[in-house]
Structure 1
Amino acid sequence: MTQPAVNPARKSAAIMQPTFLPWIGYFGLMASVDLFIFLDDVQFDKRSWQQRNRIKTPNGVLWLTVPVLTKGRRDQTICDAEIQPDAKFPDAMWRTIEMNFAKAPYASRYLPALHGIMADNTATIGELNIAIIEWMAREFGIATPTVRSSQTPVASAKADRLVDLCRAHGVTDYLSPPGSKAYLDDSNAFSDAGIALDYFGYTHPEYAQLHGAFEPYMSALDLLVNEGPKAGEILRSGLVL
């Protein structure tokens, strides 16, 4: 497995919410840093990437959604958001995944492990997502260490919270997803803290895929079951250095 080159005088990190079955760019970001921090103690956002993602099927793109208890729990965090215990999860979702990836070249290599992870992590969406992400990262050959913000007590918010998480882990260089550029550039929080700020770049590569013309931005599971051992190399080919 590969790790980012480490300069002992510098330490890079990225901070991301743990999303469900993320796209390949999520793992490209993870592969680009020395430490990956799961931002799992922020508010759970119903029907967001935190609980759903997309796969490709013979009939087009299909959303997979994990059922989460939300009634009367508006302020719950990702790490505390409970999966509905009576929603036949993961069995119904699993049948959908298995049916649509049955003809993928590497389905038998990866799907049983995913099924086991889904069956063993039915308490909270945070635990489920992190377990899946860490498994997929290993299969892509990514050895970047991970930690959770819920295990790193900091009381600040927004950009200051990201800075404080970096400080708590000795981070000198923060690699941000591009969607955060506007508010991070306006805040000056990183420059004031003496932490270098850069933005992640990624160009989505094409790869062998089932069900017709190539469809980008699917769950990274699509790449894994279609390309197998080559998946990590293909994933890294999209990195903009």
Structure 2
Amino acid sequence: MKAMLLQPFYFPWIGMFDMMDRCDLFLLYDDAQFVRQSWQTRNRLKTPTGVRWMSVHIDADYRLGTPIREIRVDRRSPWATKHLNQICESYRNAKYFDVYYPLLVSFFQKRSEWLVDYARESIILVAHLLGITTRIGLSSDFGVRKSRGVQKVVDLCHAAGAEEYLDGESGQELYDPQLFRDQGLTISFHRYVHPVYRQLHGEFVSHLSVLDLLMNEGTASRRIMLSGRVLNDEEIPVAHRAGNR
């Protein structure tokens, strides 16, 4: 079984969904430290006046080092209504707006006090629309409390029953493959070239929220997502490369 571990991001970019599609299990790293003004709480939309942030308002009553799963949204703020208005402003002239906007209205009608619930549900919704069947879990559900850093990744893989770990391309600078091999795991790295697709409002902009792809390309979104896959030596499990056998 192949697993990945990423922080729960809010309506993330398409490369994350391609990475998810390559795994059997996607663990949302909900016990990672919360970082304000990060992808944990916001993403970007392409509006008629340029790229704009869509940000979840959070309760300011938290301490430095608080895990994501303990962060509350600010329920006094009308941020959900604002997000719907931003989406409408950005994509009401998009070809597939009428298909997806009602689903987003239903999404924003949900009520939870926890930030992680909105991030997780945004990922579940989009994964379904893209035909991704990867199982989604929370890292906090596996009881790995004491280890940190790379060792926590290894321990989570073992707890989940995974034999292989998939990380982003930048993980090559962070992780020593030998550490994984020594503990019975293989590690591979996801490489992705952002595809160009039809957009509104001027020249193409990459790395927006996946909502931009869905609104503009609809049923072609999965095919476009898959077109960014790069298959080369970096995606061959390290333990299987010539010279590591």
TM (norm. structure 2) is 0.90
Higher alpha-carbon deviation: 57-66 or 174-183: 174-183
Query: Does the CA-based 8 Å contact 2:44-2:52 persist in structure 1?
Result: yes
Runs in 1 of length 4+ with deviation above 3 angstroms? none
1:84-107 Cα offsets, whole Å, 9 max, x none, are 011112112211111111011111
Taking only the aligned residue pairs, the percentage that are identical comes to 35
Amino acid at match of 1:63: W
1:43 counterpart SS class: coil
Amino acid at match of 2:224: I
CA–CA separation in structure 1 for the residues paired with 2:125 and 2:154: 28
* Equivalent residue, structure 1, for 2:88: 98
2:207 counterpart SS class: coil
CA–CA separation in structure 1 for the residues paired with 2:181 and 2:104: 41
CA–CA separation in structure 1 for the residues paired with 2:178 and 2:195: 33
* Equivalent residue, structure 2, for 1:193: 183
Shift of 1:188: 4.2
Amino acid at match of 1:94: L
User: Does residue 19 of the first structure (1) align with residue 9 of the second (2)?
Assistant: yes
CA–CA separation in structure 2 for the residues paired with 1:239 and 1:205: 9
2:23 counterpart SS class: coil
RMSD (CA atoms): 1.3
User: Does residue 136 of the first structure (1) align with residue 126 of the second (2)?
Assistant: yes
**Unmatched runs of 5 consecutive residues or more in structure 1:** 1-10
Identify if the C-alpha distance between structure 1 residues 114 and 170 changes in structure 2 by more than 3 Å, giving closer, same or farther: same
**Unmatched runs of 5 consecutive residues or more in structure 2:** 232-245
TM (norm. structure 1) is 0.92
* Equivalent residue, structure 1, for 2:39: 49
- Number of residue equivalences: 230
CA–CA separation in structure 2 for the residues paired with 1:163 and 1:49: 24
* Equivalent residue, structure 1, for 2:199: 209
Amino acid at match of 2:154: V
Superposition pairs of residues 1-241 of structure 1, within 5 angstroms: 11-155=1-145, 156-185=147-176, 188-241=178-231
